[in-house]
Amino acid sequence: MGLFNFFSQEIAIDLGTANTLIIANDKVVVDEPSIVAIDKRTDKVVAVGRRAMQMHEKTHENLKTIRPLKDGVIADFQAAEAMIRGMIKMINPKKQLFKPSLTMVICIPSGITEVEKRAVFDSAEQAGAKERYLIHEPMAAALGIGLDVQEPIGNMIIDIGGGTTEIAVIALSGIVCDQSIRVAGDEFTHDIINFMRRQHNMLIGERTAEQIKMNIGAAITELDEPPEDYPVNGRDLMTGIPKQIMISYSEIAHAIDKSISKIEDAVLKALEITPPEVSADIYRTGLYLTGGGALLRGLDKRLAQKTKLPVHVVDDPLRAVVRGTGIALKRRKELIALLMS
């Protein structure tokens, strides 16, 4: 086995808008922001992942940071390829005499077009993959949280990522019906930036908005265990001078309220188009929340009030999709029905 491993490498990639995770040998070996920093003069990659994220919005004219994925799909082909290569290098940073042959399973949004699929396949090929398989994100999430997707029982997965929210009803190894909307974590971040500008006359960057969302982000204004107010640093639009103000979670709940309503509507629409027998299953099993958006305080409560159904936030929602992609990689012979190659 050892020698064989030496010549071949199998990896599962969750290519996300916000974060990219890679599983090799059954463990998550890479968990980095999906971003690259490139030197404009030479077009060389300066940094990938966390290091590039530290440079984001702080660059000078010779450096630029690129987030190659937008709304869950590849927007910048070359940057995506450079990012995938850079992250594969992180798995074993030691210099190798020859490259092992790669087998990759990559997950993609369910609302993706054929052209966008092609782009993912090509990027994987350019990054050195011999065998390439794609799996839909909600399907991977269902596998990752331990649901038996091959059974004739309907389950509804709501995967709120960085670029897209995927809502899918899964039964018999397939997606019965789905809704994919491009409202997710990034949209919340922009809502917070706009809110700070409107409400507090303060300009903040994406990274600060992201920190606010993680520290005090909430979907409802009345929480049982409210987080403490959070200090925000930015530039005062009146004076142009940096300043700090305190923000409460209920303000953030107001800021992202409209975007969350869009997600609620999509969930209701998905429930509307679900076949009646599957609806009966969902009434019993409830809704499963995965992805980074599942960590928003009070979101489960809000969706439960809206749908009158039980809502479960899964364990470690950020890694549910990559875990499922890893399972699909390991059991790809028996789960071939779920994979596109």
By residue count, the chain amounts to 341
Whole-Å CA distances, 179 to 156, 234, 300: 11, 37, 18
CA diameter of the chain:
66
Q: How far apart are CA 127 and CA 88, in angstroms?
A: 8
- Per-residue confidence (pLDDT) for residue 6, from 0 to 100: 59
CB-based contact 28:22 (threshold 8 Å): yes
- Per-residue confidence (pLDDT) for residue 310, from 0 to 100: 92
In the predicted model, what is the mean pLDDT of residues 46-62? Answer: 87
Residues 102-149 pLDDT 10s: 888 888 888 778 888 888 888 888 877 888 888 888 889 998 888 888
- Per-residue confidence (pLDDT) for residue 193, from 0 to 100: 94
Does residue 94 have a pLDDT over 80?
no
The token duo for 258 is 């409209």
The token duo for 147 is 């649901």
- Per-residue confidence (pLDDT) for residue 335, from 0 to 100: 75
Does residue 11 have a pLDDT over 60?
yes
Does residue 231 have a pLDDT over 50?
yes
In the predicted model, what is the mean pLDDT of residues 291-318? Answer: 90
Q: Which residue has the tokens 């997606």?
A: 175
For the chain, domains (ranges, CATH) are 2-32+71-140+321-338 (3.30.420.40), 151-183+260-314 (3.30.420.40), 185-257 (3.90.640.10)
In the predicted model, what is the mean pLDDT of residues 209-223? Answer: 89
- Per-residue confidence (pLDDT) for residue 9, from 0 to 100: 81
In the predicted model, what is the mean pLDDT of residues 197-226? Answer: 90
CB-based contact 208:233 (threshold 8 Å): yes
Q: How far apart are CA 341 and CA 339, in angstroms?
A: 6
Sign of CA dihedral 168, 312, 216, 302: positive
- Per-residue confidence (pLDDT) for residue 17, from 0 to 100: 86
- Per-residue confidence (pLDDT) for residue 86, from 0 to 100: 85
Nearby residues of 168 by Cβ (< 8 Å), 6 or more positions away:
110, 136, 138, 139, 156, 157, 159, 175, 176, 177, 178, 179, 270
Does residue 218 have a pLDDT over 60?
yes
The token duo for 131 is 């065998």
Whole-Å CA distances, 158 to 109, 138, 263: 12, 7, 9
Residue type, 169: V
Element (H, E) at 55: helix 50-55
Nearest to 312 by CA among 335, 289, 292: 289
Q: Which residue has the tokens 């092609």?
A: 118
Residues 244-289 pLDDT 10s: 999 999 999 999 999 999 999 999 999 999 999 999 999 998 899 9
Strand pairing class (287-290; 311-313) = parallel
Label residue 1 by pLDDT band (50, 70, 90).
very low
Residues 56-89 pLDDT 10s: 888 888 888 888 888 878 888 888 888 888 888 8
Nearby residues of 97 by Cβ (< 8 Å), 6 or more positions away:
none
Question: 12-16, 121-125, 161-165, 322-326 — which is least confidently predicted?
Answer: 121-125
Overall pTM > 0.95? no
Does residue 176 have a pLDDT over 90?
no
